[in-house]
């Protein structure tokens, strides 16, 4: 019997998390990815150099280690026990001590309300959450663990950037017209046939309008958006047609105050 798409998606993400090879090769695989440098610079620019920070989907710890050196009290969280183990080994070699938690971001976050001043969710980690209600539930939980006026920074890919290539235009036609009707997928869901040894790897690709609305719905005010250039080593120099030309977005948001006197 053919699996339902949601089962295939869940299986692919679980395989990614369970793979020790993915964790062992993580740093090497991404070492020449320009975004890995630019997003760190962006974080240092938009976040104050004090307070308690949670990195959701911390991977092998590149951000928590870098930001801890800047004075932030960092906590790393990842679903993969192999990623957590890799981070622990790196911390030990560096003589650093940072709290790490192995937990699932699609479940209630294992932290008290208002426990953090900053939360980051980088490298399109939020795109690994299938289904719009689950992504909204995740951001609602992020809002809960943030203190009043707390900061959220995240990265997402740009759906409309696919307009610039023939393959991308073909995928856009499928995701808007075919997949929701016949594949049981949401607009923006991409199933990668083969990704680092994993079949049918899932990633949700956002439009800027979608992620802005999602943040506003879950209690955040968008403070700044970096429109990434083609190489993702900086921002677009011109904002002309930036909503299409941007090769992804880095978004800084802030937990909104109570509205309407409620």
- The 10s digit of each residue's pLDDT in 203-244 is 999 999 999 999 999 999 999 999 999 999 999 999 899 999
CA 159/CA 112 separation, integer angstroms:
34
- Count how many Cα atoms sit within 13 Å of the Cα of residue 102 in the half-sphere of its side chain: 11
User: What does the pLDDT look like over 91-120, one tens digit per residue?
Assistant: 999 999 999 999 999 999 999 999 999 999
Buried b or exposed e, range 127-166, using 16+ CB within 10 angstroms: bbbbeeeebebbbebbbbbbeeebbbbbbbbbbbbbeeee
The Cα 103–Cα 151 span in angstroms is 21
Task: Give residue-wise pLDDT tens across range 148-172.
Answer: 999 999 999 999 999 999 999 999 9
CB 73 within 8 A of CB 138: no
> Rounded to an integer, what distance in angstroms lies between the CA atom of residue 57 and that of residue 50?
21
In the chain the domains, ranked by start, together with CATH numbers, are: 5-255 (3.40.50.150)
pTM to 2 decimal places? 0.94
- Judged against a pLDDT cut of 60, whether residue 259 lies above it is answered with no
pLDDT tens string 12-45: 889 999 999 999 999 988 888 999 999 999 999 9
The reported pLDDT for the residue numbered 9 is 60
Residue 60 burial (C-beta neighbours within 10 Å; 0-12, 13-18, 19+)? buried
Residues above pLDDT 90, as percent of the chain: 87
Question: The tokens of 16 are what?
Answer: 């990614």
């Amino acid at each position: 019997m053919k699996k339902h798409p949601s089962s295939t998606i869940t299986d692919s993400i679980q395989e990614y998390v369970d793979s020790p090879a993915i964790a062992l090769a993580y740093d090497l695989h991404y070492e020449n990815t320009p975004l890995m440098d630019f997003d760190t610079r962006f974080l240092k620019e938009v976040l104050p150099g004090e307070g308690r920070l949670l990195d959701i989907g911390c991977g092998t710890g590149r951000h928590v280690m870098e930001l801890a050196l800047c004075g932030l009290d960092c906590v790393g969280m990842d679903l993969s026990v192999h990623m957590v183990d890799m981070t622990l080994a790196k911390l030990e070699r560096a003589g650093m001590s940072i709290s790490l938690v192995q937990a699932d971001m699609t479940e209630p976050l294992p932290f008290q309300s208002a426990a953090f001043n900053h939360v980051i969710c980088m490298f399109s980690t939020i795109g690994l959450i299938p289904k719009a209600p689950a992504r909204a539930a995740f951001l609602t939980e992020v809002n809960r663990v943030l203190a009043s006026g707390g900061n959220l920074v995240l990265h997402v890919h740009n759906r409309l950037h696919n307009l610039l290539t023939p393959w991308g235009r073909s995928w856009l036609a499928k995701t808007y017209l075919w997949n929701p009707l016949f594949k049981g997928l949401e607009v923006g869901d991409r199933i990668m046939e083969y990704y680092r040894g994993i079949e049918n790897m899932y990633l949700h690709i956002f439009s800027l309008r979608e992620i802005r609305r999602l943040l506003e719905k879950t209690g955040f005010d968008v403070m700044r958006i970096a429109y990434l250039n083609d190489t993702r080593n900086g921002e677009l120099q011109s904002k002309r047609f930036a909503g299409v030309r941007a090769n992804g977005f880095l978004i800084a948001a802030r937990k909104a105050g109570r509205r309407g006197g409620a």
